Structures are given as structure tokens and as C-alpha cells.
Amino acid sequence: MQTAAQPFPYECDLAHSALVIIDMQRDFIEPGGFGESLGNNVALLEAIVPACQAVLHAWRTAGGLVVHTREAHAADLSDCPPAKRLRGNPTWRIGDVGPMGRILVAGEPGNQIIPALAPIEGEIVIDKPGKGAFYATGLHETLQQAGITHLVFMGVTTEVCVQTSMREANDRGYDCLLLEDCTESYFPHFKAATVEMLHAQGGIIGWTATSGSLLAALAPTR
């Protein structure tokens, strides 16, 4: 399967590829959540949901493996160092009670993936205590057992958890593609810079493409 991409076409075999959806959680996407409490415009992130839905539907229809991640901490915050919890000056901090329950705590309402992209039976769901999907999660071992060599990324935010996860994956030998219209930042110029960085120098971290290009590549397998 070949997808038109930057800096050159991205090739992968669906049987050895996974769609990785980073942190499409209520606390980041919906009004009233943690992201908005930090003063961010969550409408920017909400805007990518239809494109993400289209890709997820097509990938499921084609029979591809799907991985969802959630940034989530234990209820006692034993996996949330002070350097993370005490950063900045938000209305609420990680572990505090907000409108959607305790902020970024596993099992709380706001920590769940938005209904439009909710996991279905058989899909992998990873709770991660850090920015990257591979830190303290066992995701690499799970992907290895499934024979996965290529990863297609979408989710939020582009310059933080998505970029961190892509760089971690690159260091572990995965060929990675980021779908540009299926990722977003609260700061659009951060997204633009990240996309450029990832595919610079001949794809130093990976490839980037539009969701339309991937959907076109998937079409013959549907």
C-alpha cells in the first residue's frame, strides 16, 4: 500500500501496520476539560474529529490494528512526578477534581476517549503516564508480538504527545506516518513547525500526509 506523502511516498503492508490514535480524550478535546482550564481554545482540536473518524472507519473496515492512548495517572498519583504536576499555573492540576472528575486520573470521565473515536472490542488501549506512548507502557512489546513494523499516527497535541510518541517509535525502528489533518495543537504555529521537522532531511523522523491520501491508498483493500 502506497500513500502520497512528504518527503516521498510512504509504503506499508496493512498486516504489519497499526493506526495509533494519541490522547483524543474528553479532558483535552471537550469544553470544560483540563485543556480549556489552561486557557486553550479546544475548538481547534475538536475540528479534526471528522477527519479522524473517517480514517478510523476506513482502517477498521480494512482490518488494520488500532491502538488508542490515554494520558492517565494512578489515583494516588504515584506515577506523576511533581515536575509534571506542579508545572505552570492552571486552574486545576493533575489529580484535582474538575468538571469531568479528577484531572488525568485513570477511570475518570474526563480521562476517557471522546465517544466519536471510542475504542471497540479487540483494539488496544494504552494508559500512559508520560508524553510518549512507549514510556512505561509495554506498547513496544505488544506491537512486536503482533508483527507491527509501520505506524500511522493521529491525535493531539501535535508538538507534545504526538511528536514525542513518533520520535520514540522512530528510535525503536518503526516507519512512521503522521496524518496532518488528523492532528492539531492549541497553537497552530507549533503544529506547522512540528510537521516540517518530522519530514525534514529526507524524513528524519518519518513521513507526513493528508488523510485523503491515506484513504485513497486504503480504498482498494476495502
Terminal C-alpha separation, the chain:
12
> CA 222 to CA 217: how far, in whole Å?
10
Whether omega for the bond prior to residue 157 falls within 30 degrees of 0, making it cis, is yes
HEC profile of 154-188: EEECHHHHHHHHHHHHHHCCCEEEEEEEEEECCCH
Write the DSSP assignment of 66-115 as a string of letters.
Answer: EEEEEE-B-TT-TTS-HHHHTSS--SS-TTSEETTEETTBTTSGGGSBPG
Dihedral-angle region of residue 188 (phi above 0 means left; psi in -120 to 50 means alpha; beta otherwise): alpha
> CA 48 to CA 51: how far, in whole Å?
6
> CA 81 to CA 87: how far, in whole Å?
10
Report, as residue numbers or ranges, the catalytic residues: 23, 128, 161
